[in-house]
Structure formats: structure tokens, C-alpha cells
Amino acid sequence: MKSAIVTYIAIVLLAIPLLSEGQFRKYSNEFLNIGAGARGLAMGSAQAASVEDATAGYWNPAALARVEDFPSLSLMHASYFSNIANYEFGALALPISGNKRTLGVSLLRFGVDDIPNTLFLVEPDGSINYNNISSFSSADWAMLLSFAQKIRDEEDFKASFGVNTKIIYRKVGQFANAWGFGLDAGFAMKKGNWSAAAVVKDVSTTFNAWSFHFNEKEKEVLYLTKNDIPIKSSEITAPRLTLASSYLFPFNESFKLLVEGDLDFTFDGKRNTLIRSNLTSVDPHIGLEAQIKDAFFIRAGLTNFQKALKDGDTTNQKRVWIYQPSLGAGFKVSNIVIDYAFSNLANQSNPLYTHIFSLKILFGTKSEY
């Protein structure tokens, strides 16, 4: 079984560059790359190797196998762009078959409400009528149905694999909607204090089929203003590979330090990342977590390394490396964990900070934690 899994992963990794030729749309379904849980976002989205709760369905389905004995529930809320956009995430992990397997379900929504519809702002005689402005909402939904299976479960070595079935629904007011489907696959291992992981998101590619709904009056306005009237459209999300490694430094019984580094490989053309080429672009994530008596946590992370114009440069020629920092904290009381992240959605030269809160509930009695 181990050799079959290794062969399958090798075939997938070799096929990714061939699949990425031309037909994929860059940044397709980008809302699925925001993250999940304040812990992960505080650590710069470096999670694939160390995650051990219900959010593993998002970061690495194989790591869901680390949820044992009792179900785990995670909930998160974040507001972006001065509360213009809201992001909600919820996940449940359920261990079965004597902890050999784990089932998971994750639901997320990224939405923008009260968007002005100005199609009929200008009357036929050229006058402006503000009473004709209405509003609509745009929302992206995704459901992940996860399965994880342990391969090895020994005292000094643990390994598992997992898969996600991904169902996507996107809606832009009454004008357009899309359905999408795809698969993720992951592998996780742990030997002593060292953990490693490999995740291929959209391993099957994820296909979104859009349909548009404009009435005759709306079509007339679009035609007169020389806008295209879409009928049907589709987009394909290219596979994304994440390789991750983490190590837990146990300084003493009261203090431990977790360090993780993840590398995200994309195959949809050159991006503004730390490593980039026509074949692949690589975006690193670095995360730290200080654990104090397994009850209080302090976190920090760096990600989204890019080259940008230097502030104050009037020649538009000097470029410097910028990055996206994040900080956070958490505390655990009995079977409840509350996490907080202070994240910069942009980078240090153009900050766009947001506050993120999440709640984790470990079901079971107090004595079992």
C-alpha cells in the first residue's frame, strides 16, 4: 500500500507542469487561499505540517488523522477592507474506526454585501436619478468533505494520507452564479518532534462553470454602454503543491517552541513571488509558535514575499523585497481554545490590518484534556 501511494504522488507531481499549459486561469477561486483559523493566519499560513485540529481539512486533509478519541470543532470570523468583506469558516472533524480514520467537513464563505448597482443610474434623457440605485451581494461558498487514513501509528513514527472533495458555489447578485468541483490530496508524517507534509490542492484541477442572467432591460443598458454581454463561461484552477516541515523544540516541561516552513508551488504562470519562472512560482511561509504550559500560545509569521517599488522613488526603478507579517496569541481553558490573529492582508509598505478570532472546541470531559 505504501508503494502505491508513493507512486500515485510521484505521477501527480510529474503531471502538474504538463497540465498547466495555457488553459488555466490565474488566481481562479482565490478566496480558497485566504486561510483557516486564527492560529494558522497568525503563523503566516505555515500549517500543513503541524496542524492537529479540525482546520486540517483546509490545510492538509491527511493531518485530520491526528484528531483522536473525540470530535473537534473550529469556528472563525474575519472582516476585511474596513468591514466591507466578511469571511466565515467552520470545520468539524470526527475520528472513527478506533482512531484509524477521520471524517471532516469544512464550510467557508467570503462575501461582500451592499454593492451598489448603478446600471440604471442614468435615465434615457441623460439625467442622473439616484433613486434607481439598488444593491446586491457577492458571495463565494465552498464545502470540503474530507477523509483521512492512518498508514503507520507507532510511538516513534506516524504517517497518514487524506483527500478532500471540494464543492464550490459562487454568486454575484442576480446576475451570475457558478458551480465548481475538485479534489485535494495530502500526506503527513511525524517522527519524534519533526513533522513533514505534502499537499496537492486541486489535484484533479477544479472546474467552475459560470452562467449569467440579465433581463432585456439590463442587456440594453450593457449594449448601449458598449459592454460585453456574457452568456456562459468556465475557469479551471491549476494544481498547487505545498511542501512543509516543522520542528518542536522542547526547552523544558513548561516552554516549547514550534517552527514551521511551508513552500507553495503554483503552476499557472509567473507570479510576483520570492522564486518565480515560467514553469512555477514558489511562495514561502514561515511560522513560529511559543507554547507555555500547553495553555498559552504566542505566534508570529511571515509570508507573501514580493518585489515592489521603493517608497519615495520618483524614478519608478528601485525595487525592494516586501512581505506580509502577522502576529497572534491563544489560550486554552479545559477543552476550549480561543485564538486571535493580527494580520496584514497586504504588506508592510501598504498595510491593511485586520483582526481575526477563532474558537476551537475539543469534545469530551475535562479530565480527558
Residue 218 DSSP one-character state: H
- The C-alpha atoms of residue 339 and residue 86 are separated, in whole angstroms, by 18
Q: Which three cell numbers stand for residue 156?
A: 516513534
pLDDT recorded at residue 48:
96
Q: Residue 190 forms beta bridges with which residues?
A: 158, 195
pLDDT recorded at residue 369:
38
- Give first-to-last CA distance, the chain, whole Å: 34
pLDDT tens track, the chain, 369 positions: 444 444 434 434 444 443 434 356 777 888 999 999 999 999 999 999 999 999 999 999 999 999 999 999 999 998 887 778 899 999 999 999 999 999 999 999 999 888 888 888 887 777 888 888 888 889 999 999 999 999 999 988 999 999 999 999 999 888 889 999 999 999 999 999 999 999 999 998 888 888 888 888 888 888 777 777 777 788 888 899 999 999 999 999 899 999 999 999 998 888 888 888 888 899 999 999 999 998 999 999 999 888 776 665 556 666 777 788 899 999 999 889 999 999 876 555 556 678 899 999 988 744 443
User: DSSP strand E in 44-154: where?
Assistant: 72-80, 85-96, 101-117, 134-153
- The C-alpha atoms of residue 224 and residue 169 are separated, in whole angstroms, by 31
pLDDT recorded at residue 170:
93
115: left (phi over 0), alpha (psi -120 to 50) or beta: beta
pLDDT recorded at residue 23:
52
CA angle (52, 54, 57) in 5-degree steps:
95
Q: Residue 141 forms beta bridges with which residues?
A: 109, 169
pLDDT recorded at residue 16:
40
Residues 6+ apart with CB under 8 A from 360: 37, 53, 54, 72, 73, 74, 75, 336, 337, 338, 339
pLDDT recorded at residue 285:
95
Strand 275-276 and strand 232-237: pairing? unpaired
Give the three-class secondary structure for 59. Answer: helix
Give the three-class secondary structure for 294. Answer: coil
- The C-alpha atoms of residue 93 and residue 143 are separated, in whole angstroms, by 14
pLDDT recorded at residue 316:
62
pLDDT recorded at residue 3:
45
Q: Which three cell numbers stand for residue 269?
A: 504562470
pTM over 0.75: yes
* Extents of the domains making up the chain: 2-368
pLDDT recorded at residue 19:
40
pLDDT recorded at residue 336:
93
Under CATH, domain 2-368 is a member of which superfamily?
monomeric porin ompg (2.40.160.40)
- The C-alpha atoms of residue 356 and residue 89 are separated, in whole angstroms, by 11
Label residues 298-308 b or e (16+ Cβ within 10 Å = b): ebbbbbbbbee
